[in-house]
Structure 1
Amino acid sequence: MEMSELRALLTPEGLGLLDELGPIESTAEVARAVSRLRAAGHSPELVSAVVGQAHLRFRATTKFGAFAGRMLFTRAGLEQATRLAVAARHAQRIRSSGITRVSDLGCGIGGDALAFAGAGLDVLAVDADEVTSVIAAYNLAPFGDTAVVRHSTAENALDAPGEEHGAVWMDPARRTAGHSETRRVSSDDYSPSLDWAFDVAARMPTGIKLGPAHDRDALPSDGEAQWVSADGSVVELVVWSGALAREGVRRAALVIRGERSHELTAGADAEDAPVRELGAFLHEPDGAVIRARLIGDVARSLDAGMLDEHIAYLTSDAALTSPFVQSFRVRETMPATPKAINAVLKANGIGRLEIKKRGVDVDPAAFRKKLALRGDAEATLILVRVGDQRRAILADRVPAPA
């Protein structure tokens, strides 16, 4: 968003028009709204700003729920913003440590700062981009003097004389777009740089949010690394230091499903469980557990073994479930060929099929076209490499524990 668009938006006319529009879902609705507002005589800057915000408000409901209806966004800020349910847990950790003030250095649109202020913390929110800092100020305005927003770099804000910071929260932004989560990036690819951020973490209580696929070898050895998944997707890695890091915890997997959360912690990577033959159940560890390398601890809790030493699937005979895995009851196995699979699907009357894969070079969408799905039954097909063989496992999902 350009500053001229933001100025047009932050007027009684602009905000009133935005409220009248309500959330806009599709690109077709966007085009219609632009045409209608331009025909009504509104300026190009105002129309662009209002319609863009209405569309972003719709997209933001997945992260901010009903709060999105009174917030403003930038595209990049919304993409990087923490989900409110996750941010609330960040705030809870800071509050429970006894710290009452937090500096959000690189606050973006203010997603985490909202949770901090909502938890009763005093917040200094800082962003180097002027438009983004103005939007953060708007989003945090309901908290009054509890949440102060400044247009500044993280480095300058931290070094400002007379400022009390308490704890520091950072969500470093990528300097360039298009990075893959699986691509290794250097410290200088971030703003502020990770070298600077980790130096701050060594001196004061700090939380640093990173992509979940961040290079583990580049993490500080004396901090707590917590991988977080929300409703089945791994959304972040947070490095905690000082009073915000729990004693004896170096690896953690926080699994959030709806309003419930479960956490697995350890002092180091867990040793993998031994490999065993496929049993009555197959278990798929949550992505946060895999990233934290705590699969072995989950396996032992289920009396399970690894299906293959290089594949993140567990197997057991006991009908045990865990919040850290999705469990499947095995029906039968077969070679991972369309002919063999189709014979089993036909015999079981399978018309609806979920396809999962791990360790095999298969496009599930393309593979589905080779299958004959007829009948009223449903199942899950798991394509997996076991040793030097490609196997297909027909299974049924086991409901997750409450």
Structure 2
Amino acid sequence: MGYRFGRDDVAFLGSAAGSAALAEVDRLELTPATHLRDLEQVRRAYPEQAAALIETVRLRRKAAVKLPAAAEWLFTDDALQQATPALVARHRAARLAGRAVHDVTCSIGAELAELSAVCPAVIGSDLDEVRLAMAAHNLTRGRNIVLAQADALVPTSRDTVIIADPARRADGRRTYDPAKLQPPLPDLLAAYAGRDIAVKSAPGLDFDRLGWAGEVEIVSLDGAVREACLWSPGLTEPGVTRRATVLDSRGGASTLTDAEPDDIPERAPGAWIVDPDGAVVRAGLVRHYAAKHGLWQLDPQIAYLTGDTVPAGLRGFRIEDRFELREKTLRQELSRRDCGSLEILVRGIDLDPDALRKKLKLRGSVPYTLVVTRIGRAGVVFLCTAVAP
């Protein structure tokens, strides 16, 4: 859970004295090995603020990758965990450029920071007064931002696009039940019925069961699926109900929607296997991706694609051989090929890659990749060499 910050903590940490104290604490290692020594040193210098200082420095270091421009920000542990990565927030803000926006669950302000760069007016509200105080500290340079304490389920603005990020934990555990989010997703959508709204949510939510009439966008960053965003019909293109957006930290971005063609041929495996980005898979756009890049599926029910080329910038697996899924056969073939390190990718088959790797008893030096899947009802193994983008 982390340290529980209060308003007095925020006032001190945001002061000149607090800033100087944080700089001093940041010189400490703060590792498990030095924890007791560092804690004692900070307690001697700042007996009443030691816990808040140590926790803030720890969270700033943790935030460096997710929010690289937030080196002097204040956080709570929960707020940092739920904060949207800066590149993902920037992507969403770009879709809302020029609009007045109200983030009704603004927390410590990660989303507001990106919105304020492209939107003429930005409102942030939250029920948590400590997080609001932190947002006020974090967003001192945002002249077009107004902060207010308000219930997300009680509309307090007009003529704004609503953004919300319901908390995804219930009873201390992650939940995928829309009714158990905080605030509950059905209540949130009812409160803003007829308004333009974008709601961040977990990618694992059952969107078909939700019956969402707008667009569901799945976003990945550097190969990891980060979030889903529900966009109301007024914020998306006609005919688009699913979108996959693939971002990378180097500035690359690509998008794919279900309005694009999905006609692909049925053929035998080509020279390569391609594993589409997780955003494409989660968005249900595997066939659309295949059609766009001249690929086809190994099996209509499996997300692995195949073809004679690999899309630019994507890792591919060159097929060297194909076997039935038999442990003895695999052990013999891998031994004959002097296999050492072995990456095992599995889809459509109930198999533990780590357990299989141990059973294969590899002692060689040549790296390979096994793609274990099924075609029809038969389990099949493709022996591949991986080629980086």
- TM-score relative to the length of structure 1: 0.86
1:267 Cα shift?
A: 3.5
Residue 211 (1) aligns with residue 172 (2): no
Report matched runs for 1:125-164 at 5 Å: 125-143=124-142, 145-156=143-154, 158-159=155-156, 163-164=157-158
Residue 300 (1) aligns with residue 302 (2): no
CA distance in 1, matches of 2:120, 2:340: 53
CA distance in 2, matches of 1:391, 1:204: 50
CA gap of 1:384–1:6, structure 2 versus 1, over 3 A, is same
CA distance in 2, matches of 1:242, 1:303: 31
Question: In the alignment, which residue of structure 1 is the partner of 2:257?
Answer: 265
1:295-337 deviation digits (Å, cap 9, x = unpaired):
1112223433322232211222x224256x6421111122334
Question: In the alignment, which residue of structure 2 is the partner of 1:2?
Answer: 5
CA gap of 1:30–1:262, structure 2 versus 1, over 3 A, is farther
SS of the aligned residue for 2:70 comes to: helix
CA gap of 1:260–1:203, structure 2 versus 1, over 3 A, is same
SS of the aligned residue for 1:285 comes to: coil
Question: In the alignment, which residue of structure 2 is the partner of 1:166?
Answer: 160
CA distance in 1, matches of 2:161, 2:221: 25
- Quick check: 1:307–1:315 contact (8 Å CA) kept in 2? yes
1:112-162 deviation digits (Å, cap 9, x = unpaired):
11111133542111111121111111111122x322222221133x23xxx
2:309 to 319, 329, 334: 319
SS of the aligned residue for 1:142 comes to: coil
1:309 to 297, 300, 308: 300
Match for 1:122: what amino acid? A
1:75 to 65, 74, 77: 77
Question: In the alignment, which residue of structure 2 is the partner of 1:359?
Answer: 348
Residue 229 (1) aligns with residue 229 (2): no
CA distance in 2, matches of 1:227, 1:336: 33
2:49 to 25, 46, 66: 46
CA gap of 1:121–1:373, structure 2 versus 1, over 3 A, is farther
SS of the aligned residue for 1:69 comes to: coil
CA gap of 1:272–1:370, structure 2 versus 1, over 3 A, is farther
1:165 Cα shift?
A: 4.7
Report matched runs for 1:72-111 at 5 Å: 72-95=74-97, 98-99=98-99, 101-111=100-110
1:12 to 10, 16, 27: 16
1:31-63 deviation digits (Å, cap 9, x = unpaired):
44213212x2422x4111111111111111121
1:371 Cα shift?
A: 2.9
Higher helix content, 1 or 2: 1
CA distance in 1, matches of 2:220, 2:259: 20
Match for 1:62: what amino acid? V
CA RMSD of aligned residues (A): 2.5
Report matched runs for 1:390-401 at 5 Å: 390-400=379-389
CA distance in 2, matches of 1:25, 1:388: 54
CA distance in 1, matches of 2:87, 2:30: 23
Unaligned regions of 5+ residues in structure 1, if any? Answer: none
Match for 2:322: what amino acid? T
- Quick check: 1:354–1:379 contact (8 Å CA) kept in 2? yes
CA distance in 2, matches of 1:345, 1:26: 42
SS of the aligned residue for 2:65 comes to: helix
- Quick check: 2:96–2:119 contact (8 Å CA) kept in 1? no
CA distance in 1, matches of 2:189, 2:111: 19
- Quick check: 1:5–1:48 contact (8 Å CA) kept in 2? no
> For this pair of structures, how many residues does the alignment match?
383
Match for 2:88: what amino acid? V
Between 82-91 and 372-381, report the one with greater CA deviation.
Answer: 372-381
CA distance in 2, matches of 1:295, 1:336: 25
1:201 Cα shift?
A: 5.2
- Quick check: 1:82–1:111 contact (8 Å CA) kept in 2? yes
Unaligned regions of 5+ residues in structure 2, if any? Answer: none
SS of the aligned residue for 1:119 comes to: coil
SS of the aligned residue for 2:304 comes to: strand
Report matched runs for 1:326-345 at 5 Å: 326-345=315-334
1:392 Cα shift?
A: 2.3
- Quote the sequence identity (%): 32
Report matched runs for 1:112-127 at 5 Å: 112-127=111-126
CA gap of 1:388–1:247, structure 2 versus 1, over 3 A, is closer
- Quick check: 1:14–1:46 contact (8 Å CA) kept in 2? no
1:388 to 377, 381, 384: 377
CA gap of 1:153–1:310, structure 2 versus 1, over 3 A, is same
CA gap of 1:226–1:25, structure 2 versus 1, over 3 A, is farther
CA gap of 1:68–1:364, structure 2 versus 1, over 3 A, is farther
CA distance in 1, matches of 2:131, 2:17: 21
1:289 Cα shift?
A: 1.0
- Quick check: 1:383–1:390 contact (8 Å CA) kept in 2? yes
CA distance in 2, matches of 1:135, 1:365: 44
- Quick check: 1:201–1:242 contact (8 Å CA) kept in 2? no
- Quick check: 1:172–1:210 contact (8 Å CA) kept in 2? yes
Match for 1:185: what amino acid? D
Between 221-230 and 378-387, report the one with greater CA deviation.
Answer: 378-387
1:294 Cα shift?
A: 1.1
